[in-house]
Structures are given as structure tokens and as C-alpha cells.
Amino acid sequence: MIVHGGAWAIPAEAQGPHRDGCLAALALGAEVLDRHGSALDAVETAVAHLEDDPTFDAGRGSFLSLDGVVELDASIMSGHDLQAGAVACVTTVRNPVRLARRVLESEHTMLVGRGAEEFAAAAGVEACTQEWLVTDRERERWAELVKRPPTIEEFFDIPRGTVGAVAFDCHGNIAAATSTGGPPVKQPGRVGDSPIIGAGCYASNDSAGVSVTGWGEAFVRLVWSYRATLASLERPAQAACDHALSLLAPLQARGGVIMVDRNGEVGVAFNTPAMAFASRDGNGAIAAGP
Ligand code: ASP
């Protein structure tokens, strides 16, 4: 299993909380796998934990949109039956990944905005207030950034903390999930790669599971996650992640990718200064960054 908490220039003082948050999420997900639970349950559990951790740009502690509202996107995919669920622009759901899971189990694949929230209420998914999602840290950041929104050159120097997880279970099934608040001071209604199946998340038992983070607009156009899983057909997981980064060249995009392939091998690669992640390989060896 492998989890991530964003890829950007994570400053020295923030690296410990990012690594620890990823390790805690990995431990919770791995516990599910150790009691023979499903990869789908493991990634949902890990990502829900990262959403609750205000260190990251997902769930509580997310960046605010231009209008001062937290708008959340998430996706989840099951590799054995290609079922997928995604939600975008939700503002009153504590754990968007849990809502995405309920969408996966329904006749829908993607729900957005008001309809997604009505579905959440009907499905009994835990609601929350904006007051709960918005932290003082992010309210202060927003007050500064609205005075002068970041340029594209500054984009990767400002915090990015999208989260994700990929798991391989004892039944041989792969699952992946991604969750984000999107970039700071985003246009209200803006949707990036994270809830787009094939862009921000993909899983197939035939190849691999992938979750990515970084410049979402580019990843949608590059169909990045899906192409990363294809790269795994011809290479070990780590080499496939390295190859996936080369696919970003035409758009000079930056980001990070995590993978678990059909052999249960993990991989992680990024072309940003740092990436927060934690992994456990098939032998039980733990690795973490930054
Ligand atoms: N990819 C996310 C988005 O574009 C942001 C991120 O990964 O930090 O919404």
C-alpha cells in the first residue's frame, strides 16, 4: 500500500507533520489489509484520515476558493470490476472520499455540487459545516492571496496538499483514491484532475492503481493516471512512475504519482522539490517522505 499527501516545495518545518500524517494513514489502511479487508476499504480509510488531518489540502484544512468557500473533490476506483465513484464541488461533506465510495456503489459514477450533497444526505454520509472545514490558517492565507492571486510560475511554491492512496489486497485486488480542496483561491466551480477517473485516479487489476497530485488542468488533458497504469504493463512499478513523469513534458507540468502494480509492487515519483508519502511493500518494509 502507498499513500501521498501532495507534491510541492514542502518547507522543512512542515515536513514532519506531512510525513507523520501519511504514516498514520498508511497504518490505518494497512490494518484493514492485514485483517483481510478489501483494497477499496483500505484506500477509503486512509484517505478519510488524511481528509480529517488539517495538514493537508483535502477535507478539513483545505484551501479556500476565490469566494472564501472550501469546495471539495474526490474519487475512488476498484480495479477488479472497474467500478468508480467521484464527487466534485461539495461544501458540506466531512469526508468526500466516503461520499465517492457511496457513489461507486450506486448506479452513478460522478455527482457534483447540490446533487452530490442531496445524494450524501440520502445515503447517510456524514455532513459538516463550512466552519468545520475552514481553518484559521487557511482563512489567513486566503486573505493574503485574494489581494494578489499566485501566478503560474509561483504555483508550485505555494502549498499543495492533495491526498491519495493505492492498495493491493490479499484477494489480488487493487484500488485507488484521491481527494483535494484544489488549488488556493481557485475559481468557484473549478474542477481539476482529482475527481476525474483516468486523470487524478485510476485502478485496474490488469495493470496498476494510481493516484496523482499537482497541476490538475494538465493532468486532465494528459489523462495522466490512466497512462501511468498503462506504463506499468511494460515496466516494474517504480520504473512506470518514472516513465509517467516523462509524459508531463509536453505541457511542462509538475506533480507526483504513486502506484501499486498487479504484482503488489509500489512506486513513487515526482518532479517537484518534495512529495509527502508513506508506503509498505509486499515484504512489510516501510518507506516515507519527505
Ligand atoms: N491536482 C489537484 C487539483 O488540481 C491539486 C493538487 O494536487 O495539489 O485540484
DSSP output for 76-141: EEETTTTEEEEEEEESSBS-HHHHHHHHHTSS-SEEEHHHHHHHHHHHTPPB--HHHH--HHHHHH
Q: Does the active-site annotation cover 162?
A: yes
Largest CA distance in the chain: 52
138 contact partners, CB below 8 Å, separation of at least 6: 61, 62, 63, 64, 70
Mutate to test the pocket of ligand 1, among 51, 87, 163, 194 (most ligand atoms within 8 A of CB): 194
Q: Measured between alpha carbons, how far is 271 from 282 in angstroms, rounded to an integer?
A: 26
Ligand 1 centroid from CA 34, angstroms: 30
Q: Is the CB of residue 205 less than 8 Å from the CB of residue 174? A: yes
Q: Measured between alpha carbons, how far is 173 from 42 in angstroms, rounded to an integer?
A: 11
Q: Is the CB of residue 209 less than 8 Å from the CB of residue 167? A: yes
Lowest model confidence (mean pLDDT) among 105-119, 127-141, 151-165, 273-287: 151-165
Mean pLDDT for the stretch of residues 259-272: 97
Q: In 10 A of CB 287, how many CB atoms?
A: 13
Check whether 152 has a pLDDT greater than 90: no
Check whether 155 has a pLDDT greater than 80: no
71 lines ligand 1 (CB under 6 A): no
Mean pLDDT for the stretch of residues 214-220: 95
From the list 125, 130, 60, 63, the residue with the least C-alpha distance to 91 is 130
- Global pTM? 0.97
Q: What average pLDDT is seen over the chain? A: 96
Ligand 1 centroid from CA 4, angstroms: 12
Mutate to test the pocket of ligand 1, among 3, 70, 155, 160 (most ligand atoms within 8 A of CB): 160
Check whether 157 has a pLDDT greater than 80: no
Check whether 188 has a pLDDT greater than 70: yes
Mean pLDDT for the stretch of residues 145-166: 82
